[in-house]
């Protein structure tokens, strides 16, 4: 009988942290380099087949730590760089086969109403 919560070989387990919120200097405009603003991230990881996790459980604290480490390097220029940095950190740990990172900036300067700007990156581990 399998352990409760354990993933089976045929399962496609994904772990997501949604709505991680940070207050950072992000953007390339002068006011964006000076004044912190909200930044929101979603990070999803598909564990590697050989993840050495007890009971097949993925430790999602690693996803938070990867995001926090990248945004701590502010000021940040481009959302694309934030997404790539988080993806690289998650994959470098060796416990994820694939990662998806969405980075949202709610306070984006546009000539009309907009809820947020978003960049989404999905990347797999190198073979």
Residue 37 maps to which CATH number? 3.30.1130.10
Asked whether residue 3 is assigned to any structural domain, the reply reads no
The average pLDDT across 40-68 equals 83
94 dihedral zone (left: phi>0; alpha: psi -120 to 50; beta): left
pLDDT digits 0-9 by tens, 72-103? 998 899 999 999 999 999 999 988 999 999 99
Asked whether residue 6 is assigned to any structural domain, the reply reads no
Backbone φ, ψ for residue 15 (5° rounding):
-115, 130
Asked whether residue 63 is assigned to any structural domain, the reply reads yes
Domain that holds residue 115: 15-124
Number of folded domains that form the chain = 1
Asked whether residue 52 is assigned to any structural domain, the reply reads yes
Asked whether residue 75 is assigned to any structural domain, the reply reads yes
Q: Is the pTM of this model over 0.75?
A: yes
Asked whether residue 70 is assigned to any structural domain, the reply reads yes
Asked whether residue 4 is assigned to any structural domain, the reply reads no
Q: What is the largest CA-CA distance in the chain?
A: 60
Give the Cα separation of 53 and 112 in Å (integer).
Answer: 47
Asked whether residue 2 is assigned to any structural domain, the reply reads no
């Amino acid at each position: 009988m399998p352990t409760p919560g354990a993933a089976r070989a045929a399962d496609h387990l994904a772990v997501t942290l949604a709505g991680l919120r940070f207050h950072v200097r992000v953007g390339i405009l002068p006011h964006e380099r000076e004044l912190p603003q909200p930044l929101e991230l979603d990070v999803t990881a598909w564990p590697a087949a050989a993840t050495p996790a007890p009971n097949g459980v993925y430790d999602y604290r690693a996803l938070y730590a990867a995001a926090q480490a990248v945004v701590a390097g502010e000021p940040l220029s481009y959302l694309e760089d934030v997404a790539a940095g988080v993806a690289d950190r998650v994959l470098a740990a060796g416990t994820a086969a694939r990662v998806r990172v969405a980075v949202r900036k709610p306070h984006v300067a546009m000539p009309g109403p907009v809820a947020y700007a978003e960049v989404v990156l999905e990347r797999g581990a190198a073979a």
